[in-house]
Amino acid sequence: MAAVSIGNRGLIARLWGHQETRSVIVQIVTVAVVFALIALVLRNVAINLEAIGKEFSFDFLTAPAAYDITFSPFIEYSSRHTHLRAAAVGILNTLLVAVCGIVAASLLGVTMGILRLSRNWLVNRIVYVFLEFTRNVPVLLHILLVHGIVVTTLPAARKAIGIGDTIFLSNRGFYVPSPVLEAGSGIVIAVLVVSIVAAFLFRRWARRVQAETGKIYPVFWICLGVVVGATGIAFLAMGAPLTWDVPALKGFNFRGGMALKPEFLALWLALTYYTACFIAEIVRAGILAVSHGQTEAAYALGLRPNRNLQLVVLPQALRIIVPPLVSQYLNLTKNSSLAIAIGYMDITATIGGISLMQTGKEMETMIIVMGVYLVISLVISFFMNWFNRSIRYKER
């Protein structure tokens, strides 16, 4: 027995002394401890819920929500709909802010990052002061400030700022005509999608031909002609299956068209310029990281400054800019949860706010909210990681 015990200790010592085996053992033990802690927490939750007479279930999602949502641009909603539909509205509103904010913040951030390196002293200082002020003030204060400006500065609906009796801006929102699709519009949309795919494939083919032979095609104009031409022909062939619902002032507010509420405008603007300030610093650092010899070589070849920035500096700087850019996109998406402070009905305000208070399902609603933000963040990370791999240096 003593010999067997000594042999077992020797086997364990050999396994622990092997680096790869030791690494596997540590990982197995760590995973086991983590799952044990999770099981302990879930057990405590189940005991506490049972003690206060609550049941863990998502049945409340099929019950009537009994509250209104003033901004639902994608799907119809009323207080008679279920909590599940309210959650869908909240998710779509969150995605709307995230997508619009990411696009606008990227454009504004790149612009300010380039202007931050301008040789014009006044432009450089103005951008610098704006960046420092914005980045050192909490984003919630920016949201409240912009919302206050939008609500108090813009005129009332009866005195709305109008453009051609079709577009109106007031403290009730930004009203624009909304498209109404008629019979045959599906074919036009299908042609548009096919033409976009064809333009993308042509662009890839033209790049490959340029790399192999040096021949350059006018890619932009050909792609534009394919998309606009094919879609325009299909639109006319189907009898122009599109009309516009124009907003009109009726009573104390506008009716018809599509309305962007002040809460959305305030949240979008605040998140856009706040995140753009961080993106601007990332862009500035990426440009400065490109060797100055690249710029000198481009000037020696006769490239003008704007073409040098477009063709030489930015493509190389992208490899440095993209990785930290992912974090800013994720921050913008998660910061959109502060919308509840100004009454914008996103997923946090619907399921994580009103539905939680009405149903008392704290665990269930928070799991839904956390899951939604987790999925959105993973999708953004996946796409940006794919883009980062596509622009990295490829060894021959």
Spans of all domains in the chain: 2-51, 83-177+261-391, 178-245
pLDDT, averaged per 10 consecutive residues of the chain (396 residues), comes to 54 68 83 91 79 80 88 85 91 93 94 89 92 93 91 82 81 82 84 91 87 82 88 86 80 77 91 94 89 80 78 83 91 91 90 88 88 93 87 63
| Euclidean distance between CA atoms 396 and 393, whole angstroms | 10
Instruction: Please report the pLDDT score of residue 394 as a whole number.
Output: 60
Q: Which amino acid is at 276?
A: A
Instruction: Please report the pLDDT score of residue 6 as a whole number.
Output: 53
Q: State the residue for tokens 């920035």.
A: 309
pTM: 0.81
Instruction: Please report the pLDDT score of residue 53 as a whole number.
Output: 75
| Euclidean distance between CA atoms 308 and 301, whole angstroms | 10
What pairs with residue 302 in β-bridges? none
The pair of structure tokens assigned to 110 is: 């790149």
Q: State the residue for tokens 């951008």.
A: 127
Residues 350 and 365 sit within 8 Å (Cβ to Cβ):
no
Q: What homologous superfamily does CATH list for 83-177+261-391?
A: MetI-like (1.10.3720.10)
DSSP codes, 49-101: HHHTT-----GGGGSB-----S--SSS---TTSBHHHHHHHHHHHHHHHHHHH
Helices (H), the chain: 2-17, 19-51, 83-115, 121-135, 139-153, 185-213, 219-237, 262-289, 292-300, 305-308, 314-335, 347-349, 356-359, 362-391
